Structure 1
Amino acid sequence: MKKILIVEDHADIRKLIRMTLEFDNYEIHEAADGVSGLKAAQDVKPDLVLMDVMMPGELDGLQVCQRIKADPEIKHIPVVLLTARGQVKDREAGMAAGTTAYLVKPFSPLQLIDTIEQLLATA
């Protein structure tokens, strides 16, 4: 069973993503901020991370992505950034942080599932 970590500060968005993925055979883990998201990635070692970019607290999604990609134990994990920021400079910042894919909110559940299936198929 593939493990997916959802790192998102809005509980309703976490719930929506979890409900979207419940129909597939995934083990879902959640974190509500960047610091707990990074710790969960290190502890759980998920097959994929779905992460919001803008989160309150010490670490935002870009910083967590950079730290995941800098950690030899978990750098292979694909990170999908989920954000309301769709400008070219925002995408470039995501790519510079090491993201594997970039989905702009609002995204469709189908788009999310397609992205996850493609990434897990190549992992």
Structure 2
Amino acid sequence: MHERLIVPTPGRGLIELSTRINQCLAERRAGDGLLNLFLRHTSASLILCENADPDVLQDLEQYMQDLVTDGDRRFIHRAEGPDDMAAHIRSVLTANSLSIPVRAGRLALGTWQGVFLWEHRYAPHQRELVLTLLA
């Protein structure tokens, strides 16, 4: 299976994708295998994270804001505004791909795990996610 998902983002923040990915797997009648998720962007990322308490997502965003400050005076690259270079650094510090087992056509996630796209830019974007299931 090879599929492409377009994910609209409202701007900076985390968007859970687990349900949408499971729907895609069900539509393709996926069985067991290993799903590779690849995000084709350099200013957004993918993470596997706690999905039960929204405070976790808020704390992650706050920590990242403290770690990588928008418009840091040390940044030379400012082609698309003060959040541009910070978004690239955030992406490098996290991940642009994940591999997750699939069992009986569903992500084999732990009880409190979810797959999230983390948009690092303030402006809305259309992000492309490539799903490849190896059976």
Flag whether TM exceeds 0.5 (same fold). Answer: no
Higher RCO structure, 1 or 2 (CA under 8 Å, sep 6+): 2
| Superposition TM-score, scaled by structure 2 size | 0.27
| Superposition TM-score, scaled by structure 1 size | 0.29
Larger radius of gyration, structure 1 or 2?
2
